[in-house]
A and B are shown apart, each in its own frame.
Chain A
Amino acid sequence: SQQGEEDPQALSIQEGENATMNCSYKTSINNLQWYRQNSGRGLVHLILIRSNEREKHSGRLRVTLDTSKKSSSLLITASRAADTASYFCATDAGIYNQGGKLIFGQGTELSVKP
């Protein structure tokens, strides 16, 4: 079953602008992961943030996690046309050393116009 909800469902911005996507989930988690998927292709892992972390950076990506609100956000700064893709959050709620199954949010379709 789907746990995550993402908003917005679709986002269209100009190159150079920042893009923010939000994800909410329902149960306690071990970690939350963000993925990118280009049309018809496989998933690319972007960032994993653990439940005891509040913020994480990777290049132009910044992820925050608020476990009290059960929400996360992905910020892409200085966006490029190549960032055009669908972005999914996924939560891992399994018991430590077990589980590992990911429940995906509905995704945000990002379009960056040159």
Chain B
Amino acid sequence: GAVVSQHPSWVICKSGTSVKIECRSLDFQATTMFWYRQFPKQSLMLMATSNEGSKATYEQGVEKDKFLINHASLTLSTLTVTSAHPEDSSFYICSARDPQTYEQYFGPGTRLTVT
């Protein structure tokens, strides 16, 4: 089946630094990818829609200057958490939408811990 990878799988960083998370679609070209955030014992909250070749669309309440999204190719989207703070510690999950079937495939997630 379709595979979406994320890198790194976990990262620990100091407060004030920036962290980049990569999301790759391995089996199909994804013009659209999505970034979600999940806090412990909670559901996934959509952060933004990443569109290849254009600006990302952010959900209400998500700071676009803090969570930078770049969808540089049909198989890669990156999320950069800038000036990270401890409250940004979370599980970040990306997904890629198969343009043929419209099904979404999720990456394994990246656990970010900001100290």
Contact = CB atoms under 8 A, between A and B. Distances in A.
A78 interface: no
A100 B93 contact: no
A40 interface: yes
Given A100-B34, A102-B95, A88 B43 contact: yes
A106 B45 CA distance: 10
A89 to B, nearest CB: 10
Given A33-B104, A42-B109, A48-B103, A103 B34 contact: no
A31 interface: yes
Contacts of A100: 32, 34, 49, 97, 102, 104
A107 B34 contact: no
A43 B32 CA distance: 18
A48 B6 CA distance: 23
B53 to A, nearest CB: 15
Interface in A44-60: 44-45, 48
A42 B107 contact: yes
Contacts of A43: 44, 93, 95, 106
Category for how many chain B residues contact A = 20 to 34
Nearest to A42: B108
B103 A88 contact: no
Contacts, number: 57
A28 to B, nearest CB: 16
Interface string A41-84: 11111001000000000000000000000000000000000000
B46 A35 contact: no
Given A31-B102, A102-B46, 14 more contacts: A1-B59, A42-B6, A42-B106, A42-B109, A43-B95, A45-B103, A45-B106, A92-B102, A100-B32, A100-B102, A101-B46, A102-B95, A106-B43, A107-B43
Interface of B: 6, 32, 34, 36, 42-46, 49, 59-60, 91, 93, 95, 97, 102-109, 111
7 contacts: A35-B106, A43-B106, A88-B44, A102-B46, A104-B36, A104-B43, A106-B43
Interface of A: 1-2, 30-31, 33, 35, 40-45, 48, 88, 90, 92, 100-107
